[in-house]
Amino acid sequence: MRQFDLAPLYRSTVGFDRLFSALDQFVSAETAPSYPPYNIERTGENAYRITVAVAGFTEADLSIEVKENALTLKGDRKPDATKRTEVLHQGIAARGFERRFQLADYVQVTGAVLENGLLHIDLVREIPEAKKPRQIQIATGRPAEAPAIEGSVQQAA
């Protein structure tokens, strides 16, 4: 794959560091971890759901953290000390993981549910009223006249 050097863009821009970091991550996507598998779904106009396959993990093994615009999901499965069986073949992954998702502005996590080995994380985008587009009325005719200040004008002789 081709390598892209974004260094010249860093030198000529201010305030776009996060954008270029995201581009760097996108370009190097082939080195991104693929475990655990996940889906991202749109469930409404401003609602989303991330579904992560976490077979064998319990609520105590998982942690979800939101910091700034990053959602971090960590899983660390502890071995069961009371289990006395010998595993002949292990096809279900039991390794720990950390998966990060970059969230857009105004996206909030509203809840998480673990059911049937799938962790569902619900998100919603809530744009503040001050940031929403609004219509500006266009007045017809001239603007209202400003009140005139009355007085006398003296002419120079």
- Plot region of 136 (φ>0 → left; ψ -120 to 50 → alpha; else → beta): beta
Residue 110 has pLDDT above 80, yes or no: yes
What does the angle CA 57 – CA 63 – CA 69 come to, to the nearest 5 degrees? Answer: 135
Buried b (16+ CB within 10 A) or exposed e, 133-148: eeeeeeeeeeeeeeee
pLDDT of residue 134: 83
Q: Is the pTM of this model over 0.75?
A: no
User: What are the pLDDT digits (tens) for 4-44?
Assistant: 666 666 555 555 666 666 666 666 555 556 788 999 999 98
Distance (Å) of CA 6 to CA 9, 12, 16, 64, 133: 5, 11, 12, 32, 33
Average pLDDT over residues 107-121: 93
pLDDT: which is higher, 153 or 99: 99
pLDDT of residue 72: 93
Looking at residue 116, its amino acid is N
* CA–CA gap between residue 37 and residue 53 (Å, rounded): 6
Contact 53, 38 (CB under 8 A): yes
pLDDT of residue 137: 86
User: What are the pLDDT digits (tens) for 53-107?
Assistant: 998 888 999 999 999 888 999 999 877 767 777 878 878 777 889 999 888 888 8
